[in-house]
Amino acid sequence: MIKVKNLTHYYNNDKALENINLEINKGEFVCLVGESGSGKSTLLSIVSTLLKPTKGELFFENLNYKNIKDIDDFRKTNIGFIFQFHYLINYLTVKENIKIANEKATDNEIYNLLKILRIDNLSNKYPNEISGGQRQRVAIARALINKPKVIIADEPTGNLDSKNSLNVFEIFKKLSQEQVTIIVATHDKNLANFATKIYEVKDGKIN
């Protein structure tokens, strides 16, 4: 589903990624592990079309990224993002925070998603009225509301305790069983064991 070929990336003259090759299948749950600064975020940014690589080819369902006309629309319809910090908007309720990711989403669709994530009782609360674990589940709901084929998450549990971290990875596992492709960067090797495939990123390389 996603193919990365001979990918190299430089920030100015500093090499961040060197000759990365990956093939990720539909419904696969991929974890990128590695120390801070190893290149995980850079790789996720490139795979998610937010960053243009210095060198290399990328494909999404055999479509070369270079041939995608409206990259913003492509990203919005195919990829859901989750970050370490949830970036919820504090003056909007849970429901409204999800709605801004998809104006067309009905209350019913939002409610069903919240129910799956076990936060359906929180739809009218504001982010500062709920716990950190709940906020991150709202962020997951927001990423899922467009029914993306791929979820890309960068240290999504970096800010959570172990119970909530497990919960997030269990949600990812369930999604991958429903054929959503999951690509997650984490420095937590225990959590990485949830994945169907683990890649270790070291000094910008994957062996």
Give the binding site for ligand ADP (CB under 6 A).
Answer: 11, 14, 16, 34, 36-42, 129-134, 163-164
Q: How far is the CB of 181 from ligand ADP (least distance, A)?
A: 20
Contacts of the segment 16-22: beta carbons below 8 A, 24+ positions apart: 16/42, 16/204, 17/42, 17/43, 17/46, 17/53, 17/204, 17/205, 18/203, 18/204, 18/205, 19/205, 20/56, 20/205, 20/206, 21/206, 22/199, 22/206
Nearer to ligand ADP, 6 or 132 (CB): 132
Q: How far is the CB of 146 from ligand ADP (least distance, A)?
A: 24
Instruction: Break the chain down into helix, strand, coil percent, rounded to 5.
Output: 35, 30, 35
Q: How far is the CB of 179 from ligand ADP (least distance, A)?
A: 27
Q: How far is the CB of 124 from ligand ADP (least distance, A)?
A: 14
Nearer to ligand ADP, 36 or 62 (CB): 36
Nearer to ligand ADP, 127 or 148 (CB): 127
Return the residue nearest ligand ADP (CB atom).
133
